[in-house]
Chains A and B, each alone.
Chain A
Amino acid sequence: MSAIVQGATGPFEMVIGLEVHAQVISRAKLFSGASTAFGAEPNTQVSFVDAGMPGMLPVINGVCVEQAVKTGLALNAEINLVSVFDRKNYFYPDLPAGYQISQYSQPIVGKGVVTIDLPDGTAKSIGITRLHLEMDAGKSVHDIRADATHVDLNRAGIALMEIVSEPDIRSPEEAGAYVRKLRSLLRYIDTCDGNMEEGSMRCDVNVSVRRPGEKFGTRCEIKNVNSVRFVMRAIEYEAARQVAVIEGGGTIAQETRLFDSQKGETRPMRSKEEAHDYRYFPDPDLLPLRLDAKWVDGIKAALPELPDARKERFVRDFGLSPYDSSVLVTEKENAAYFETVAKGRDGKMAANWVITELFGVLNKQGLDVSKSPVSAAALGGLIDRIKDNTISGRIAKDVFEIMVETGKDADSIIEEKGLRQVTDTGAIEAEIDKIIVGNADKVAQFRSGKEALKGWFVGQVMKATSGKANPAAVNAILDKKLKG
């Protein structure tokens, strides 16, 4: 993947903007008291309001408003003290009232910015256009019977935040980093669980291409992409498709497309001509939403430490590289794990162990840190044994593997397996003497200037001591003996 699509006639640049629908964490729906719990029997969490019964009226859920404000603050965005709910009118069986209550011209949150960290160590700012609150629709189920569609309204009315980015994204990698960063932020502040498989975070991706320096091309919107990987693949495919159309002498039609993850391609859903006229107008059942500036300030003051601040703190306090730091802070559980490991220890060493060894194991086993077979305290204990020269770094990796397999702590493994490092210089000296005597030819070569042979001698000592000899001691004694 890359930022540039190399066409037959020259390079093209991708221009990408994302609309992320994030389900708000709240016990009740946006405009009714019905429960939002996931996985209940169909149509068991539906109030009369959600079902669009005659005479029913929406009442705004204050918790959802607070969550949106919290999110806006985490996105460094303007909070609009007055916002308006509008009706978006269209007919569909999973939309009982025949309109979705959303925010159109006056959203609750205005312009903001999100910083993404890229693997090359650079950071980039992605503008946020707006965040607005709206209600989710129900689910149409088409596969129960061939001749009928069933409707489940459990989801109808659950609060969503639609977070719209500026067209600042230039590559699939940036798009992936943006979605991950957004998810990280939302999880830090507990406003959305970010679970894309369950659909609590869904992306609409706007993609266009242009030759470098030209103005924006016509965009296509890819609807409802439900994983970071698919977002990246959809962009890759769509950009290539658009370049091919343009180079073939065609023009891009503004349209809505869907991503087929099986085939890895995008296909048109409906064109602009068939597009709905949503007939937006302010919902007369709801007064404009007015927020008290002091209340907003209170929420701001109560925000937890956010990923960017934590990342800076890790760089400052633990001497980590910005990239390592950003890897550690993405998931707040990972960051907390790392902090436990690093507390009172060498931060860089802790970071290496967490990122390379622990994340390696977790990735391989498909676990997240809460299910880690090695606790933060246990990993810290292992690092302590390296620091106090009980074991070498190399032996520590073997110990770690056993910890993963058995769940035992480092000390008992070291004891059981007799892995304690040999620091007794007498014992090491004796082994070295034996090797020098048995390899007079290599000693002669070394002494005649082939100093690279020293590594071979170190290896022999380690072999003889099953790797348990203290490397520093081995080096010091070897230096003395070999130079004679």
Chain B
Amino acid sequence: MSRLTDLSLREARGGLTRRSFSARELTEAHIKACEAARPLNAYMAETFDQALAMADESDRRIKAGQGRLLEGMPLGIKDLFCTKGVASTACSKILKGFKPPYESTVTAKLWEAGAVMVGKTSMDEFAMGSSNMTSCYGAVTNPWRRKGDNRPLVPGGSSGGSAAAVAARTCLGATGTDTGGSIRQPAAFCGLVGLKPTYGRCSRWGIIAFASSLDQAGPIARSVHDCALLLQGMAGYDRKDSTSVDKPVPDYTTVLSGSVKGLKVGVPEEYLVEGMPDEIDELWQKGIAWFRAAGAQVIDIKLPHTKYALPTYYIIAPAECSSNLARYDGVRFGLREKGGDLTELYSNTRAAGFGAEVRRRILIGTYVLSAGYYDAYYLKAQKVRARIAGDFREAFKQVDIVLTPTAPSPAFGIGEMMDDPIAMYLNDVFTVPASLAGLPAMSVPAGLSGDGLPLGLQLIGRPFDEETVLRAGGFLETAAQFTAKPAWLEGGHA
């Protein structure tokens, strides 16, 4: 029998139902994997005792024939989710030691569905970053290595800990959050499937806010089917989040086997950006060919405002973050640095508590909202955002789904690009437009780069049409036959 940690979530469910193994055994296997994977630094907190208790409860349920959707499934939870009594810090020094007395809606739903928490995964501080380098707990290492090159790579970000944890088989799936690509890009960097649902599909209640109009929770897993199961457990209306949408949650797994014959797949010419490596374009062309071969109709579309997406995002997201992060002031919780007066208390606390990238974005956000600049930056950005959403609306009159690359490069080396924030921001060039438009989008591993690193293709769907995204993703997954494994699993990290 293969190791329990090699099972997909779907397979593990089957195994538990058939009683091939117990939930406790499954969790113990993943705990062992977590312990072995500590050098990757994917978790900022391990919750093994809690995990075992949850697994035992799952075994009781299974025995009683009361197994639920995600019964006994060991998961990693991004540190942006508030988990009751467990450290929830957004990987920021300013929240070190913070244990909330409440549980986020999304994680509460997962526990109600029977899932098991093995630990909290690391991330870029306050979800700001594309490399997981800005976590106050230090860099996370990608389980993948370039062929013949043992230098450590980043797992992507901001949900880099979640991606590394899933890729290293320390959990069957993980939660992520995506503001401008924070689920999709790390999924692509780690050879995983990552789904950002439609804005409003999952409740934001209890998720530490970065940019409220963009933040959305979603799953990272090793297959499209696993993502569908996890989304099923996470999604749903929540009256505690005024921006969540009261629409029924369909059964996502039933749509997966559907054919893509006749599906209209849009290919936007604007995503062919300058300086993009040929191998990314080649993969994209491959994806197009797979769809065409399966009877899908491939249509060239125009998304003319795409080139403004990145600057628009880097105005709106910092603006919202500058306001959202004002509450970390040393007065009620988290870090407090003494000061001679109130202003000093604030500035000492915030200077000591926030890392450089967070400070940079707070400054940008404060600037673009200031009197005299608001119209030129924030208001203009909102108008452009509406145009970008309009581009998609137009396109979706013609097509059912949009196919693009997920990121302009494979995983890069730890420490690279750290002195060049603009180059770092360019990582989000393909993921940010769907975020600004609030659309569901998924990255599916579709091939390897020349030096053996995973590359992802992105599928963007209509609002609340996660089903078509999953169906097309399921097809892509089958067509790509992505079976490569990270060096970590082959004992390849020296």
Chain A interface residues (CB < 8 Å from chain B): 48, 51-60, 87, 89, 91, 93, 96-99, 149, 151, 277, 279-281, 284-287
Q: How far is the CA of A70 from the CA of B212 in the complex (A)?
A: 31
The interface bits of chain B over 355-388 (1 if a CB of A lies within 8 angstroms of the residue's CB, else 0) are 0000000000010011100100010000000000
Q: How far is the CA of A98 from the CA of B346 in the complex (A)?
A: 11
Q: How far is the CA of A151 from the CA of B331 in the complex (A)?
A: 9
Cβ of B332 < 8 Å from any Cβ of A? Answer: yes
Q: Which of B252-292 contact A (CB under 8 A)?
A: none
Q: Which of B446-492 contact A (CB under 8 A)?
A: none
Q: How far is the CA of A279 from the CA of B375 in the complex (A)?
A: 11
Tell me which of B212, B327, B329 contacts A54 (CB under 8 A): B327
Question: Top 8 nearest A-B pairs by Cβ distance?
Answer: A98-B326, A279-B369, A284-B213, A284-B212, A52-B327, A55-B206, A54-B208, A55-B82
* Secondary structure class of chain B's binding surface, majority of residues: loop
Instruction: Assess whether A281 is in contact with B243, with CB atoms less than 8 Å apart.
Output: no
What are 22 residue pairs bridging A and B, where the CB atoms are less than 8 Å apart in the complex? Answer: A52-B332, A53-B332, A53-B333, A54-B100, A54-B333, A55-B82, A55-B100, A55-B208, A56-B206, A87-B323, A89-B326, A93-B329, A96-B327, A96-B332, A98-B325, A279-B366, A281-B323, A281-B378, A284-B320, A285-B212, A286-B242, A287-B243
A91 and B242 in contact (CB under 8 A), knowing A53-B333, A57-B204, A98-B326? no
Instruction: Give B81's nearest chain A residue, CB to CB.
Output: A55
Instruction: Give A95's nearest chain B residue, CB to CB.
Output: B326
Instruction: Give B366's nearest chain A residue, CB to CB.
Output: A279
Instruction: Assess whether B331 is in contact with A93, with CB atoms less than 8 Å apart.
Output: yes
Which A residues lie within 8 Å of B82 (CB)? 54-55
The interface bits of chain B over 72-98 (1 if a CB of A lies within 8 angstroms of the residue's CB, else 0) are 000000000110000010100001001
Instruction: Give A52's nearest chain B residue, CB to CB.
Output: B327
Tell me which of B88, B206, B325, B331 contacts A96 (CB under 8 A): B331
Cβ of B241 < 8 Å from any Cβ of A? Answer: yes
Instruction: Give A149's nearest chain B residue, CB to CB.
Output: B342
Q: How far is the CA of A51 from the CA of B100 in the complex (A)?
A: 12
Which A residues lie within 8 Å of B63 (CB)? none
Q: How far is the CB of B361 from chain A (nearest CB, A)?
A: 14
Instruction: Assess whether B90 is in contact with A54, with CB atoms less than 8 Å apart.
Output: yes
Instruction: Assess whether A55 is in contact with B327, with CB atoms less than 8 Å apart.
Output: no
A51, A53, A59, A96 — which one has the most chain B CB atoms within 10 A of its CB? A53
Which A residues lie within 8 Å of B98 (CB)? 54
Cβ of B205 < 8 Å from any Cβ of A? Answer: yes
Instruction: Give B345's nearest chain A residue, CB to CB.
Output: A93
Q: How far is the CA of A277 from the CA of B323 in the complex (A)?
A: 13
> How many inter-chain contacts with C-beta < 8 Å in the A-B complex?
97
Cβ of B389 < 8 Å from any Cβ of A? Answer: no
Instruction: Assess whether B326 is in contact with A91, with CB atoms less than 8 Å apart.
Output: yes
Instruction: Give A283's nearest chain B residue, CB to CB.
Output: B212
Which B residues lie within 8 Å of A284 (CB)? 211-213, 243, 320
Cβ of B147 < 8 Å from any Cβ of A? Answer: no
Which A residues lie within 8 Å of B95 (CB)? 54
Cβ of B9 < 8 Å from any Cβ of A? Answer: no
Instruction: Give A92's nearest chain B residue, CB to CB.
Output: B342
Chain B interface residues (CB < 8 Å from chain A): 81-82, 88, 90, 95, 98, 100-102, 104, 204-209, 211-213, 239-243, 319-320, 322-323, 325-327, 329, 331-333, 342, 346, 366, 369-371, 374, 378
Q: How far is the CA of A277 from the CA of B371 in the complex (A)?
A: 6
Which B residues lie within 8 Å of A280 (CB)? 369, 374
* Secondary structure class of chain A's binding surface, majority of residues: loop
Instruction: Assess whether B323 is in contact with A93, with CB atoms less than 8 Å apart.
Output: no
Q: How far is the CA of A281 from the CA of B377 in the complex (A)?
A: 12
Q: How far is the CA of A149 from the CA of B341 in the complex (A)?
A: 11
Which A residues lie within 8 Å of B342 (CB)? 93, 149
Instruction: Give A54's nearest chain B residue, CB to CB.
Output: B208
Tell me which of B104, B242, B323, B378 contacts A55 (CB under 8 A): B104
Instruction: Give A94's nearest chain B residue, CB to CB.
Output: B331
Instruction: Assess whether A57 is in contact with B205, with CB atoms less than 8 Å apart.
Output: yes
Q: How far is the CA of A391 from the CA of B342 in the complex (A)?
A: 72
Which A residues lie within 8 Å of B323 (CB)? 87, 89, 98-99, 279, 281
Instruction: Give A287's nearest chain B residue, CB to CB.
Output: B242
Other CB < 8 Å A-B pairs besides A97-B327, A149-B342, A284-B243, 9 of them?
Answer: A54-B90, A54-B327, A54-B333, A55-B82, A55-B100, A59-B239, A89-B322, A91-B326, A279-B374
Which A residues lie within 8 Å of B242 (CB)? 57-60, 285-287
Instruction: Assess whether A54 is in contact with B243, with CB atoms less than 8 Å apart.
Output: no
Q: How far is the CA of A280 from the CA of B368 in the complex (A)?
A: 11
Instruction: Give A285's nearest chain B residue, CB to CB.
Output: B212
Q: How far is the CB of B476 from chain A (nearest CB, A)?
A: 32
Q: How far is the CA of A48 from the CA of B206 in the complex (A)?
A: 10
Instruction: Give A151's nearest chain B residue, CB to CB.
Output: B331
Which A residues lie within 8 Å of B100 (CB)? 53-55
Instruction: Assess whether B239 is in contact with A285, with CB atoms less than 8 Å apart.
Output: no
Q: How far is the CA of A57 from the CA of B106 in the complex (A)?
A: 14
Instruction: Assess whether A281 is in contact with B332, with CB atoms less than 8 Å apart.
Output: no
Which B residues lie within 8 Å of A98 (CB)? 323, 325-327, 329
Instruction: Assess whether B332 is in contact with A279, with CB atoms less than 8 Å apart.
Output: no
Q: How far is the CA of A52 from the CA of B369 in the complex (A)?
A: 21
Q: How far is the CA of A55 from the CA of B327 in the complex (A)?
A: 11
Instruction: Give B382's nearest chain A residue, CB to CB.
Output: A282
Tell me which of B90, B240, B329, B346 contacts A57 (CB under 8 A): B240
Tell me which of B240, B322, B378 contacts A59 (CB under 8 A): B240
B204, B326, B329, B332 — which one has the most chain A CB atoms within 10 A of its CB? B326
Which A residues lie within 8 Å of B211 (CB)? 284
Q: How far is the CB of B2 from chain A (nearest CB, A)?
A: 38
Q: How far is the CA of A57 from the CA of B203 in the complex (A)?
A: 10
Q: How far is the CB of A270 from chain B (nearest CB, A)?
A: 14
Which A residues lie within 8 Å of B88 (CB)? 54
Q: How far is the CB of A232 from chain B (nearest CB, A)?
A: 34
Which B residues lie within 8 Å of A48 (CB)? 101-102
Instruction: Assess whether A55 is in contact with B369, with CB atoms less than 8 Å apart.
Output: no
Q: How far is the CB of B373 from chain A (nearest CB, A)?
A: 10
Q: How far is the CB of A198 from chain B (nearest CB, A)?
A: 26
Instruction: Assess whether A281 is in contact with B326, with CB atoms less than 8 Å apart.
Output: no
Q: How far is the CB of B153 from chain A (nearest CB, A)?
A: 31
Which A residues lie within 8 Å of B371 (CB)? 277, 279
Which B residues lie within 8 Å of A93 (CB)? 329, 331, 342
Q: How far is the CB of A46 from chain B (nearest CB, A)?
A: 10
Q: How far is the CA of A52 from the CA of B325 in the complex (A)?
A: 10
Which A residues lie within 8 Å of B102 (CB)? 48, 53, 55
Q: How far is the CA of A457 from the CA of B399 in the complex (A)?
A: 109
